[in-house]
C-alpha cells in the first residue's frame, strides 16, 4: 500500500506524524476516560472514507457518530466554513444579532410540520446541551418538576442529560445525585422485552410498557407534577430500537391529558437519517419541543431546540444561553449541509441504501450464524451479533470485533449491548453499501 507520511508541524514539533507515534503521544496525555472504538489515527476524510497517516482507507460507518451527513470535507461545506471564518468567527448571541444564527433557525423550523414550523428556537453547542435546554424550558414554562424518560434511552453525558439517560449504568457509575425528578420506564424494546417476552416484531408488541407508564403515574409521579416526557423516536445508543407504531401517539395523548410537554430527542435520528427530516414524522404526531444536535452543524459543534412559539414566548429573557451557542461558522456549515441534502434528496437515499444494507446482512445470515437481528430505519442500521446458541455476545466481545473490523477497512461503533452500528454519511451509494457488507462479512468470518 502507498505510504503517505504526513509532514506537519504540531505543537511546535516539526516533522512527520505516523499513526503509531500519534497514538503513543495521545496515550501519554489524553484521559483514559475517552474510549476509542478503533486504534486508527485519522489523518483526513473524504466523502464516506477516512484515511490514516499511512494512507490506508477505511469505510466510515460511524460518520463522526451519525453526524457527517454529506460526507467528510464536502467542498461546499469547506468553502462555507472558510467564507464565514473570513467574515465573522464569533461575536456571541447575547451580545447582538447574527445572520447565520437567524437563517439556521428559519431553516430548521421550515423543515418541521405545524405548529413547529411557526415555532421558535435557540441554538447551543451539542446534543446534550440541547437536551438540557429542553428540560429547562419544560420545567420553566410548566412550573412542574418531574420528567419521564426511558430505559434504553440516551440523551448525553453531562449531569442533567445523564439523569435522563437510561442505556447503561456504566455512564452513571459513582455519579449519584444527578438531576432529581427523572423517573425511567422501559422503552418498548421488542427484541429484548423488559417484561420477559421473547423477541418479536414491534407490530406484535406485548404492549405492557403502557401499563407500566400508567403505574408510574399512579404510584410515583402525580400527573400534575409531570413537566415533560423525553423520548428518542428510535432509541439510538440503546440499540437502534424501532418502537411499535402506537408508541409516540400514546405519549402524545399522555402529554395532552396531563399537560406535560413531549420532547423528541432527535439529536441522532434527526436531519434525514431515517428517511424523513425528523423521525417523529413517521409516527404522525408532533412533539412540543425537538432537541437537535450532531448533523445540524455539518461537522462543527452545534445543537438547538425548536419549540412551539407559545412555549418559547413564556421563557423569560436571560433564562438560558451560552457563549458559543449558534456560532456563525457552525451555522454556515450546517446550512450548507442542509442545502446539499435538499438538492440531492439525501433522506430518500438514506431509505434506499439503508434497505440495501439491511438486505445484505439478512442475506449473509444464512452462511454466518453470528449475525442475529438486523434492524433500523433509513441509515440507522443495527446488526446484532450472537453466539452459537443465538444469544447476544458480550459487549466486550463486540468491541473486539469492531477493532478487528478496522483491520478489514471498516470503521464503526456499537449500539445496544451487542450490535454493530451503521450510521454512515447519507451519500453512501448502494454499491458502496454492498462493499461494506462484503468487508464486514469477511471480517466476521475471520473472527469466527
Ligand atoms: C439521542 C441523543 N441525544 C443526545 C446526545 C448527546 O449529544 P452530544 O454528544 O452532542 O452532547 C446523543 C449523542 O450521541 C444522542 O444520540
Residue 25, domain CATH: 3.90.1150.10
25 and 10 within one domain: yes
Backbone angles phi, psi at 443, to 5 degrees: -65, -40
Note whether residue 1 is domain-resident: no
Q: Does residue 124 have its Cβ closer than 6 Å to ligand 1?
A: no
Together in a domain, 183 and 297: yes
Q: Does the residue 95 lie in any domain?
A: yes
Residue range 217-268, pLDDT digits in tens = 999 999 999 999 999 999 999 999 999 999 999 999 999 999 999 999 999 9
Give yes or no: residues 85 and 124 share one domain: yes
Instruction: Compute the average pLDDT of residues 23-48.
Output: 97
pLDDT tens string 108-159: 999 999 999 999 999 999 999 999 999 999 999 999 999 999 999 999 999 9
263 and 372 together in one domain: no
135 and 146 fall within a common domain: yes
pLDDT at 198: 82
Residue-wise pLDDT for 278-313, tens only, equals 999 999 999 999 999 999 999 999 999 999 999 999
CATH number (domain holding residue 264) = 3.40.640.10
Residue 91 has pLDDT above 60, yes or no: yes
Residue 22 lies in a domain: yes
Mean pLDDT of 24-37: 97
Q: Could you give the C-alpha distances from 39 to 27, 42, 59, 206, in angstroms and in order?
A: 11, 10, 15, 42
Give yes or no for a contact between 124 and 133, defined as CB atoms under 8 angstroms apart: yes
| Last residue within a domain, chosen from 288, 315, 343 | 343
Q: What is the mean pLDDT of the segment spanning 190-208? A: 90
Q: What is the pLDDT of residue 448?
A: 75
The pLDDT, as a whole number, for residue 12 is 45
Whether residues 374 and 321 fall in one domain: no
* pLDDT of 437 over the 50 cut: yes
Q: What is the dihedral of CA 433, 439, 444, 447, to 10 degrees?
A: -160
Decide which of 304, 326, 343 is a domain's last residue.
Answer: 343
Tally of domains in the chain: 2
Nearest ligand 1 atom, CA 303: 10
- Say what the pLDDT of residue 308 is: 98
Q: Which of 165, 236, 300, 416 to mutate to test the pocket of ligand 1 (most atoms within 8 A of CB)?
A: 236
Nearest Cα to Cα of residue 440 among 397, 391, 385, 393: 385
Q: Classify residue 90: in a domain, yes or no.
A: yes
Q: Residue 157 CA to chain centroid, in angstroms?
A: 13
Q: Which structural domain, as residue segments, surrounds residue 382?
A: 6-70+345-447
Per-position b or e across 329-355, b if 16+ CB within 10 A of its CB: bbbbbbbbbbebbeeeebbebbbebbb
- pLDDT score at 15: 60
Tell me the per-residue pLDDT of 420-436, one tens digit each, with 9 for 90 and over: 999 999 999 999 999 99
Distance CA 409, CA 59 (A): 6
Together in a domain, 159 and 44: no
Percent of the chain whose pLDDT exceeds 90? 94
Domain boundary among 326, 343, 360: 343
Tell me the average pLDDT of the chain: 95
Q: What pLDDT was estimated at residue 16?
A: 87
Which amino acid residue places its CA nearest to atom 8 of ligand 1? 127
236 CB under 6 A from ligand 1? yes
Task: Please indicate, yes or no, whether residues 210 and 314 belong to a single structural domain of this protein.
Answer: yes
Look up the pTM and report it.
0.96
Per the structure block, which three cell numbers stand in for 355? 434497505
| Same domain (yes/no): 228, 191 | yes
Give every strand in the sheet of 120-124, ordered side by side: 120-124, 303-307, 289-292, 261-265, 226-231, 146-151, 182-186
- 23 and 95 belong to one structural domain: no
Q: Is residue 65 part of a domain?
A: yes
- Domain membership of residue 96 (yes or no) is yes
Is 113 contained in some domain?
Answer: yes
pLDDT (0 to 100) of residue 199? 87
Q: Determine the residue of 126, 268, 270, 415 to mutate for testing ligand 1's pocket, defined as the one with the most ligand atoms within 8 A of the Cβ atom.
A: 268
For ligand 1, pick from 67, 154, 171 the residue to mutate: most ligand atoms within 8 Å of CB: 154
132 within ligand 1 shell (Cβ under 6 A): no
Q: Cβ distance 3 to 54 under 8 Å? A: yes
The rounded Å distance from CA 311 to ligand 1 centre is: 23
Q: Ligand 1, residue 127: give the atom nearest the CA.
A: 7
pLDDT(13) > 60: no
Cell, residue 188: 418498548
If one residue of 126, 129, 156, 415 were mutated to test the ligand 1 pocket, choosing by the most ligand atoms within 8 A of its CB, it would be 156
The verdict on residue 46 lying in a domain is yes
Mark whether 248 and 267 lie in a shared domain.
Answer: yes
Residues 158, 314: Cα–Cα separation, whole Å? 26
Instruction: Say how many Å lie between the CA of residue 446 and the centre of ligand 1.
Output: 33
Of all protein residues, whose CA lies closest to atom 16 belonging to ligand 1? 268
Nearest CA to 369 among 387, 393, 395?
387
Q: Is the CB of 265 under 6 A from ligand 1?
A: yes
For 376-413, the pLDDT digits (tens) are 999 999 999 999 998 999 999 999 999 999 999 999 99
Residues 122 and 258 in one domain: yes
Amino acid at each position: 500500500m502507498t505510504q503517505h507520511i504526513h509532514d506537519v508541524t504540531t505543537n511546535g514539533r516539526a516533522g512527520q506524524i505516523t499513526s503509531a507515534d500519534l497514538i503513543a503521544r495521545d496515550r501519554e496525555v489524553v484521559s483514559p476516560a475517552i474510549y476509542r472504538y478503533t486504534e486508527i489515527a485519522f489523518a483526513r476524510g473524504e466523502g464516506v472514507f477516512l484515511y490514516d497517516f499511512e494512507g490506508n482507507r477505511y469505510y466510515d460507518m460511524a460518520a463522526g457518530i451519525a453526524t457527517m451527513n454529506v460526507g467528510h470535507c464536502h467542498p461546499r461545506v469547506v468553502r462555507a466554513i472558510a467564507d464565514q471564518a473570513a467574515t465573522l468567527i464569533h461575536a456571541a448571541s447575547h451580545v447582538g444579532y447574527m445572520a447565520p444564527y437567524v437563517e439556521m433557525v428559519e431553516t430548521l423550523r421550515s423543515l418541521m410540520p405545524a405548529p413547529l414550523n411557526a415555532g421558535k428556537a435557540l441554538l447551543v453547542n451539542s446534543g446534550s446541551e440541547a437536551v438540557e435546554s429542553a428540560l429547562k424550558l419544560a420545567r420553566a414554562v410548566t412550573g412542574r418538576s418531574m420528567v419521564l424518560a426511558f430505559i434504553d434511552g440516551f440523551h448525553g453525558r453531562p449531569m442533567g442529560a445523564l439523569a435522563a439517560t437510561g442505556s447503561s449504568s456504566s455512564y452513571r457509575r459513582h455519579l449519584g445525585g444527578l438531576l432529581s425528578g427523572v423517573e425511567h420506564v422501559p422503552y418498548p424494546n421488542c427484541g429484548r422485552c423488559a417484561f420477559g417476552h421473547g423477541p418479536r416484531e414491534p407490530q406484535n408488541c406485548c404492549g405492557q410498557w403502557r401499563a407500566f407508564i400508567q403505574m408510574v403515574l399512579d404510584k410515583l409521579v402525580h400527573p400534575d407534577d409531570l413537566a415533560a416526557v423525553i423520548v428518542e423516536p428510535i432509541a439510538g445508543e440503546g440499540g437502534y430500537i424501532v418502537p411499535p407504531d402506537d408508541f409516540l401517539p400514546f405519549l402524545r395523548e399522555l402529554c395532552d391529558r396531563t399537560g406535560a410537554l413531549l420532547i423528541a430527542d432527535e439529536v441522532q435520528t434527526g436531519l434525514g437519517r431515517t428517511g424523513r427530516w425528523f423521525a417523529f414524522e413517521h409516527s404522525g404526531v408532533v412533539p412540543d419541543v425537538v432537541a437537535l444536535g450532531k448533523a445540524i452543524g455539518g461537522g462543527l459543534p452545534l445543537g438547538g431546540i425548536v419549540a412551539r412559539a407559545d412555549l418559547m414566548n413564556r421563557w423569560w429573557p436571560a433564562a438560558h444561553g451560552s457563549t458559543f451557542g449558534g456560532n456563525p461558522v457552525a451555522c454556515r456549515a450546517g446550512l450548507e449541509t442542509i442545502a446539499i441534502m435538499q438538492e440531492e434528496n439525501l433522506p430518500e437515499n438514506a431509505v434506499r441504501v439503508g434497505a440495501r444494507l439491511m438486505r445484505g446482512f439478512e442475506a449473509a445470515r444464512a452462511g454466518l450464524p453470528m449475525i442475529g437481528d438486523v434492524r433500523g430505519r433509513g441509515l440507522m442500521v443495527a446488526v446484532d451479533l450472537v453466539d452459537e446458541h443465538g444469544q447476544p455476545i458480550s459487549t466486550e466481545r463486540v468491541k473486539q470485533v469492531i477493532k478487528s473490523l478496522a483491520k478489514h477497512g471498516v470503521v464503526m461503533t456499537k449500539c445496544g449491548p451487542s450490535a454493530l452500528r451503521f450510521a454512515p454519511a447519507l451519500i453512501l451509494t448502494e454499491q458502496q453499501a454492498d462493499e461494506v457488507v462484503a468487508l464486514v462479512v469477511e471480517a466476521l468470518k475471520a473472527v469466527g
